[in-house]
């Protein structure tokens, strides 16, 4: 059992509630209670289930609160104990994938048309291989690191599918966050222009990318969506980017909302962090379905010391990674300057532009060129710690004038979806004078379609300052320069996937603040979550 110090009040309360509903006598109830508390804790840590020994299994079955068919609050299956809801999510997701794969497809793929998009090459063309399989298969996962051309490949796939179709296809493009949606939309627009096809084919490929919640028709504050098994999405093809960020419940609801004849294409980096919530969906799917997984292995823009460093971290070659980091290369190195002074100096460029009255887009580009990514939210070297001290230092240097929460130059991140304002968790904006409104402070955002929206600060209650953000929040983003800040001592959140994700946000240069002990131990650790999705899919296929 997990040390009880880790358990929350919610874990204790839930365990007490389930225990009171059980038919166990007081003596057995005392042993049953900590099992349920551990299950609640495990679920909050991203696990779908926990594994029980023989005695614990007997106790759970005797409680009257569990079965293996999903008719009780708990499900005990193959030594694994689930909350009924998460067991159902796994079952629904596995069955829907099996149904999609079983759907017949009969598309002729003439070599001449394939070669039109992918000229014959002596070397292995990973993008071409992925495209051929995606055209033939009803379900495809395309995975690969930064710069391997996932978006370029999927745009060519959509063009090929339209070439082979007798009528226009209804295509949906989506991503987990507004930030990821905006990046995908920009990439698709750029890739479409270079397609070797007619304008008619190009026009048939949509450019608008929306969030998954918007695609499914979120109905806040309820957990339900407009589109579901009874009211499926009307699309022929659905493409989802940044799938590593999607948790088990959301992926289950997405698949449940698809028609059985919908073609599904998932894009993502299987080596990145799993979702903050339950499950490791992308990793589980690639493990369970290798024949439906196409990995792009050649990077076209991610190279040099950053790529070498990322590969060493991803492959858990910790000594090689530390040696690379210690070489003091211009592209990858340890930060030798004072942390707060360095970050503060990096803010000068965009703050100067704001003070000069520059337009929002220029200010935002300057701000977004550099980003601090932290492993933790609280404590020394955390998001909260850095955001506070950088703001204080900027005040001391008179780079910002702050008499309250809002001031010109304040960068903020939305931390809770607000469909009314069309702002979503992870969206970043800048507070600055509105030259069209007498210099009144407004908060400006670039929307996924490239338009700019502005809001009065008082309307933005669910936001926080973002001189620094967590690595989790940075998923789906890229920055010219990244400063990766690790805590001074080990923390349960530190894993090689966390570091790899932070590294791969950097396009041109990367600096780290860490010590050797913490860095090496972090690289040795992997994300490990308990769940049965992989085996469940394998049994159904």
**Which residues sit opposite 56 in a β-bridge?**
none
Q: E strand or H helix at 511, and its extent? A: strand 506-513
At 243-272, the pLDDT tens digits run 999 999 999 999 999 998 999 999 999 988
Quickly list H helices, 327-420. Answer: 339-346, 348-355, 360-368, 383-396
**389 in a domain, yes or no?**
yes
The total number of structural domains that make up the chain: 3
392's torsion region: left (phi>0), alpha (psi -120 to 50) or beta?
alpha
For the record, the structure tokens of 155 come out as: 């745009």
Residues 18 and 13: their CA atoms lie apart, in Å, by 9
| Residue 49, phi then psi, degrees to nearest 5 | -160, 175
Contacts of 221 (CB under 8 A, 6+ apart): none
Of 44, 66, 83, the residue at which a domain comes to its end is 83
Instruction: Return the number of other C-beta atoms located less than 10 Å from residue 541's C-beta.
Output: 14
| Stretch 110-118: mean pLDDT | 81
Give the per-residue pLDDT at 416: 83
Give the per-residue pLDDT at 111: 73
Helix (H, G, I), strand (E, B) or coil at 57: helix
User: Using 50, 70 and 90 to split pLDDT, how confident is the model at 124?
Assistant: low
For the record, the structure tokens of 40 come out as: 């609640």
**274 in a domain, yes or no?**
yes
Same domain, 292 and 315: no
Could you tell me whether strands 139-144 and 263-268 are parallel, antiparallel, or unpaired per DSSP bridges?
parallel
**531 in a domain, yes or no?**
no
Q: Is the pLDDT of residue 297 over 90?
A: no
Whether the CA torsion 246, 14, 536, 103 is positive or negative: it is negative
From 24, 18, 54, select the one nearest 37 (Cα to Cα): 18
107 to 115, 133, 160, 459: CA distances (angstroms): 16, 11, 11, 51
Q: E strand or H helix at 211, and its extent? A: strand 210-211
From 539, 467, 392, select the one nearest 94 (Cα to Cα): 539
Same domain, 366 and 223: no
Residue 241 in contact with residue 180, Cβ under 8 Å?
Answer: yes
Same domain, 138 and 153: yes
From 425, 421, 484, select the one nearest 454 (Cα to Cα): 421
Give the per-residue pLDDT at 3: 40
At 434-481, the pLDDT tens digits run 988 888 999 999 886 778 999 999 999 889 999 999 999 898 788 999
Same domain, 182 and 59: no
Give the per-residue pLDDT at 266: 97
| Residue 153, phi then psi, degrees to nearest 5 | -65, -45
**250 in a domain, yes or no?**
yes
3-class SS letters over 446-505? ECCCCCEEEECHHHCCCEEECCEEEHHHHCCCCEEEEEEECCCCCCCCCCHHHHHHHHCC
Question: Which residue bears the tokens 């004078």?
Answer: 433
From 524, 508, 526, 519, select the one nearest 485 (Cα to Cα): 519
438 is in an annotated binding site: no
At 488-540, the pLDDT tens digits run 999 888 999 999 999 999 999 999 999 999 999 999 999 888 999 999 999 98
**99 in a domain, yes or no?**
no
Same domain, 294 and 163: yes
For the record, the structure tokens of 173 come out as: 């493009």
Give the per-residue pLDDT at 50: 96
3-state DSSP helix/strand/coil percent for the chain, to nearest 5? Answer: 45, 20, 40
DSSP state of 274: P
**178 in a domain, yes or no?**
yes
| Stretch 175-181: mean pLDDT | 84
Same domain, 447 and 360: yes
**96 in a domain, yes or no?**
no
144 is in an annotated binding site: yes
Give the per-residue pLDDT at 122: 53
189 is in an annotated binding site: no
The total number of residues shown for the chain amounts to 541
Residue 424: is it exposed, middle or buried by C-beta count within 10 angstroms (0-12/13-18/19+)? Answer: buried
Q: Provide DSSP, 281-341.
A: HHHHHHHH-GGGEEEE---SS--HHHHHHHHHHHTT-HHHHHHHHHT--SSEEE--S-HHH
Same domain, 359 and 220: no
177 is in an annotated binding site: no
**Which residues sit opposite 225 in a β-bridge?**
218
Same domain, 126 and 15: no
Same domain, 316 and 275: no
Give the per-residue pLDDT at 172: 96
What is the span of the domain harbouring residue 275?
109-301
151 is in an annotated binding site: yes
149 is in an annotated binding site: yes
Q: E strand or H helix at 510, and its extent? A: strand 506-513
Q: Is the pLDDT of residue 1 over 50?
A: no
453 to 207, 436, 443, 448, 466: CA distances (angstroms): 20, 13, 8, 11, 19
At 193-244, the pLDDT tens digits run 889 899 999 999 998 998 899 899 988 778 889 999 999 999 999 999 999 9
Same domain, 461 and 422: yes
At 140-160, the pLDDT tens digits run 999 998 888 899 999 999 999
**530 in a domain, yes or no?**
no
Of 254, 279, 301, the residue at which a domain comes to its end is 301
Same domain, 123 and 266: yes
Which CATH number does the domain housing residue 49 bear? 1.10.10.1020
Q: What percent of the chain has pLDDT over 70?
A: 97
Same domain, 72 and 19: yes
Which CATH number does the domain housing residue 127 bear? 3.40.50.300
Mean pLDDT of the chain: 91
534 is in an annotated binding site: no
Quickly list H helices, 146-225. Answer: 150-164, 178-193, 199-204, 212-216
């Amino acid at each position: 059992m997990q040390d009880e110090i880790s358990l929350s009040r919610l874990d204790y309360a839930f365990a007490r509630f389930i225990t009171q509903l059980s038919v166990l006598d007081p003596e057995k109830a005392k042993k049953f209670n900590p099992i349920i508390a551990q299950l609640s804790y495990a679920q909050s840590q991203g696990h779908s289930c926990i594994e029980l020994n023989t005695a614990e299994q007997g106790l759970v079955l005797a409680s009257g609160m569990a079965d293996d068919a999903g008719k009780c609050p708990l499900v005990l299956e193959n030594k694994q104990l689930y909350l009924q809801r998460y067991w159902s999510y796994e079952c629904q997701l596995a069955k829907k994938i099996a149904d999609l794969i079983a759907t017949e497809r009969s598309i002729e793929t003439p070599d001449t048309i394939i070669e039109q998009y992918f000229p014959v090459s002596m070397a292995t063309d990973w993008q071409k291989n992925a495209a051929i399989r995606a055209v033939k298969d009803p379900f495809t996962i395309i995975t690969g690191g930064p710069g391997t051309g996932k978006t370029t490949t999927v745009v060519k796939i959509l063009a090929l599918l339209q070439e082979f179709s007798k009528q226009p296809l209804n295509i949906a493009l989506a991503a987990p966050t507004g930030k990821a949606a905006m990046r995908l939309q920009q990439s698709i627009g750029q890739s479409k222009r270079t397609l070797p096809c007619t304008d008619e084919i190009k026009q048939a490929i949509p450019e608008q990318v929306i969030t998954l919640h918007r695609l499914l028709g979120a109905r806040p504050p309820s957990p339900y969506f407009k589109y579901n098994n009874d009211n499926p999405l009307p699309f022929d093809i659905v493409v989802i980017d940044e799938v590593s960020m999607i948790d088990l419940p959301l992926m289950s609801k997405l698949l449940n909302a698809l028609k059985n004849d919908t073609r599904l294409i998932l894009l993502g980096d299987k080596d990145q962090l799993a979702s903050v919530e339950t499950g490791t969906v992308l990793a589980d799917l690639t493990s369970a379905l290798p024949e439906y997984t196409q990995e792009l292995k050649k990077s076209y823009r991610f190279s040099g010391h950053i790529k070498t460093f990322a590969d060493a971290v991803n492959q858990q070659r910790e000594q090689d990674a530390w040696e690379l980091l210690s070489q003091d290369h211009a592209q990858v190195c340890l930060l030798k300057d004072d942390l707060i002074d360095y970050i503060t100096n990096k803010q000068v460029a965009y703050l100067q532009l704001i003070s000069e009255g520059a337009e929002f887009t220029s200010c935002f580009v300057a701000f977004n060129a550099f980003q601090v990514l932290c492993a933790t939210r609280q404590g020394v070297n955390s998001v909260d710690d850095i955001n506070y001290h950088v703001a204080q230092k900027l005040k001391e240097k008179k780079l910002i004038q702050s008499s309250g929460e809002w001031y010109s130059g304040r960068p903020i991140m939305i931390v809770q979806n607000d469909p009314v304002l069309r702002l979503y968790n992870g969206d970043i904006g800048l507070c600055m004078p509105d030259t069209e409104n007498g210099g009144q402070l407004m908060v400006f955002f670039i929307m996924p379609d490239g338009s700019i929206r502005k809001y009065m600060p008082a309307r933005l209650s669910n936001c926080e300052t973002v001189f620094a953000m967590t690595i989790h929040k940075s998923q789906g983003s890229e920055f010219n320069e990244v400063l990766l800040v690790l805590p001074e001592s080990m923390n349960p959140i530190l894993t090689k996937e966390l570091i790899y994700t932070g590294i791969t946000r950097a396009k041109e240069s990367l600096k780290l603040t860490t010590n050797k002990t913490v860095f090496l131990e972090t690289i040795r650790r992997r994300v490990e979550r308990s769940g049965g999705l992989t085996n469940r899919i394998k049994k159904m296929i």
